Amino acid sequence: MTLSSAQQPGLFIAFEGGDGAGKSTQAALLTQAMSDAGRTVLRTREPGGTPVGEKLRSLVLEHGQGEIDAKTEALIFAAARAAHATQVIAPAVARGEIVISDRYADSSIAYQGAGRGLGTEAIVKLNDWATSGLWPDLTVLLDVSPAEGRERRTAGDAAEDRMESEPDDFHATIRAAFLELAQANPQRYLVLPADGAVSELAQVIRDRINALLGTA
Ligand code: TYD
């Protein structure tokens, strides 16, 4: 007997990592695998995922908006996340769906908390409030070095956004912050080297999710 989506537990999975880590590729492969297994999957991304979130995304990522200081930046990401968590993620998980988000609150902890120097504690508190305490069941961290990340994202010729165009030492700080989060909470993270073969990484990720779902 197969259970319908509504009878199965929902799951919230976030993909995190530096710019150019290949999160979108792996999020897409996992989405396909879970859909093929008969699950209802909602794939989404941050900043964004709602109409207001997509507007905030343009505000915070495009060049030429005038100065955006660190606290303003943190609040814009948190505002987009509040809408995303309340309007999209929490309802989908409650319906028994698998939500796969390209980035979530750990990006704010790493980029705004560590990268911009606002501190982990302030960003955790802000985001815990903004999301009413909604944190992922599992975070897949694709670990990439600043040099490799830069090489990967400049290989396609898309222009770098406000965050991507920060120097390598900013990206090194982000990387260390992500790894620290994962080390502090190993059961909620799957850390993988971003330079692994795409299909092998996808397999490891699938195995971990199936174990979580009890379908391994
Ligand atoms: P995006 O184009 O989605 O990059 P990627 O494909 O690498 O995920 O841009 C998101 C950028 O915004 C990325 O540089 C990380 C940054 N960011 C933050 O600084 N804080 C946040 O809370 C989030 C969600 C993203």
What percent of the chain is predicted at pLDDT more than 70? 95
The per-residue pLDDT of the chain, averaged, comes to 93
CATH 3.40.50.300 fits domain 11-213? yes
Per-residue pLDDT reduced to its tens digit, 67-86: 999 999 999 999 999 999 99
Other C-beta atoms within 10 Å of 25: how many? 15
Q: In whole angstroms, how far apart are CA 10 and each of 3, 108, 136, 212?
A: 12, 24, 11, 11
The pLDDT-based confidence of 179 (bands split at 50, 70, 90) is very high
Domain regions of the chain by residue span: 11-213
Which positions ≥6 away from 204 have C-beta within 8 Å? 190, 192
Q: Which residue has the higher pLDDT, 180 or 163?
A: 180
Predicted confidence (pLDDT) at residue 7 exceeds the cutoff of 90: no
- Low-confidence winner among 39-43, 69-73, 165-169, 188-192 (lowest mean pLDDT): 165-169
Beta carbon of 106 within 6 Å of any ligand 1 atom: no
> Which residue lies with its CA nearest to atom 14 of ligand 1?
163
Residue 213: predicted pLDDT: 92
> Which residue lies with its CA nearest to atom 22 of ligand 1?
108
Beta carbon of 164 within 6 Å of any ligand 1 atom: yes
Reduced to 3 states, what is the DSSP secondary structure of residue 114?
helix
What is d(CA 109, CA 21) in angstroms, rounded to the nearest whole number? 17
Residue 157: predicted pLDDT: 67
Could you tell me the distance, in angstroms and rounded to a whole number, from the CA of residue 109 to the centre of ligand 1?
Answer: 12
Could you tell me the distance, in angstroms and rounded to a whole number, from the CA of residue 103 to the centre of ligand 1?
Answer: 7
Enter the tokens of residue 84.
């995303």
